[in-house]
Amino acid sequence: MVKTVRRCLIDIRNFTAFTEKSHPAEVVDYLNSLFEFMVDCVNRNQGIVNKFLGDGFMAVFGAPIPDEKNCHHALKASIEILNELSRFNAGRNADATKVGIGLHAGYAVTGTIGSAQRKEYTIVGDTVNVAKRIEEMNKPLGSRLLVSEEVWKALNAKPKASEVGRVRVKGHEAPILLYKVA
Render pLDDT for 53-80 as a digit per residue (tens, 0 to 9): 888 999 999 888 888 899 999 999 999 9
Q: Which residues of 134-147 are buried (b: 16+ CB within 10 A; e: fewer)?
A: bbbbbeeeebbbbb
Domains, the chain, ordered by start: 2-180 (3.30.70.1230)
Provide the pLDDT confidence category of residue 178 given band limits of 50, 70 and 90.
very high
Peptide bond between residue 175 and the one before it cis (omega within 30 degrees of 0) = no
Residue-wise pLDDT for 137-161, tens only, equals 999 999 999 999 999 999 988 889 9
Distances (CA, A) of 63 to 5, 19, 22, 52, 71: 6, 33, 37, 17, 12
Provide the whole-model pTM. Answer: 0.91
